[in-house]
A and B are shown apart, each in its own frame.
Chain A
């Protein structure tokens, strides 16, 4: 991996050593957003991302075209998640992991499923929850009216301090 940093109008090479993991602010600021748009595809492949590094602070927004499906197939760390539209599939390799490098104590971060959007979660167990904040601190979860959450995992866990389920929840596992 190569890390570049902004210097004036351009980016300059910083490092390709493992030590770069400790550098602050890979992606920032916290008010910034990375928005996934467009047609159906896997937006996070199994080897492309991880929840190991806590130096990125931004909000991930999933906003595909109507009826398009975005698949998240790896743990994904961010300081906030908004599922704005379309359908998001969370595979059983994936966790929506909140960055604990922001709030040292207490619950932090919000996971929002907006009206009309659908999250299909295959999260299976306590070690593979739908969402969590690193360590034991929970986050808050908000499923708005008109949102759909389809649970396909055997025992889905949501590590959240406050859960507001105003949308539709379907427990839809086929086997077991």
Chain B
């Protein structure tokens, strides 16, 4: 059972999208929200097969664990109040992500890619990058952390051959040092 819409035009572009109450909710693939995405009450919405989530601005109240996501918000910030997990492809096209001291988990099922194009991460506690590519490039291994103390962006880029496997990056601000 699901809450979904189907019609001549399947509505997939939402502005403000919320889920409430006890029924099981299944997300349609793909789904885009141009404003906030939130869970008011009830169970965590589930992805349908091959689901894609694409969301901008505010993602509230449930740990997102999506198969594929494209973050594409040319201006403004997406604020998260839970960990963000991607099973497969994570495309960072544009947008400032504010993790609110939560974690980011990329490629958790080890079959996807991280694709970086632009923008930065703020308040990210830990980056977990599972099964990193054997050849690291500017596209698959650029991580841009915002400096909360000094301003600006600390860009970490890994290049060259890698042994594969998992990788974890913690970014720590030490006030006063540079």
Chain A residues at the B interface, C-beta cutoff of 8 Å: 126, 129, 138, 145, 151, 153-163, 165-176
CB-based nearest B residue for A138: B8
* B23/A158 in contact, CB under 8 A: no
- Given A154-B1, A154-B3, A155-B2: A163 and B9 within 8 A (CB)? yes
* B20/A161 in contact, CB under 8 A: no
Tally of chain B residues near chain A (CB < 8 A): 25
Query: Does B19 touch A at the CB level, under 8 Å?
Result: yes
CB-based nearest A residue for B10: A163
Would you mind naming 15 contact pairs between A and B with Cβ atoms under 8 Å apart?
A126-B6, A129-B7, A138-B8, A158-B5, A158-B7, A160-B7, A162-B9, A165-B11, A171-B3, A171-B17, A171-B45, A172-B20, A172-B40, A173-B23, A174-B21
Interface of A is mostly: loop
Interface of B is mostly: loop
Q: A160-B11, A170-B20 are in contact. List 4 more A-B contacts (CB 8 A).
A: A171-B17, A171-B45, A172-B18, A172-B19
Specify which of A129, A165, A176 is in contact with B1 (CB 8 Å cutoff): A176
CB neighbours (8 Å) of B22 from chain A are 173-175
Min CB distance, A40 to chain B, in Å? 22
- Given A158-B11, A176-B23: A170 and B5 within 8 A (CB)? no
* B16/A159 in contact, CB under 8 A: no
* A170/B6 in contact, CB under 8 A: no
CB neighbours (8 Å) of B6 from chain A are 126, 155, 157
Most buried by A among B1, B2, B5: B5
* A172/B21 in contact, CB under 8 A: yes
Most buried by A among B7, B17, B18, B19: B7
* B16/A155 in contact, CB under 8 A: no
- Given A154-B3, A173-B3: A167 and B8 within 8 A (CB)? no
Query: Does B24 touch A at the CB level, under 8 Å?
Result: yes
CA distance A161 to B10 in the complex (A): 9
8 Å CB interface, B51-73 against A: none
Min CB distance, B14 to chain A, in Å? 5
8 Å CB interface, B84-115 against A: none
CB-based nearest B residue for A107: B8
- Given A151-B3, A154-B23: A169 and B8 within 8 A (CB)? no
Most buried by B among A126, A159, A163: A163
CB neighbours (8 Å) of B119 from chain A are none
CB neighbours (8 Å) of A176 from chain B are 1, 23-24
- Given A145-B15, A168-B16: A175 and B23 within 8 A (CB)? yes
CA distance A162 to B6 in the complex (A): 12
CB-based nearest A residue for B35: A168
CA distance A75 to B43 in the complex (A): 32
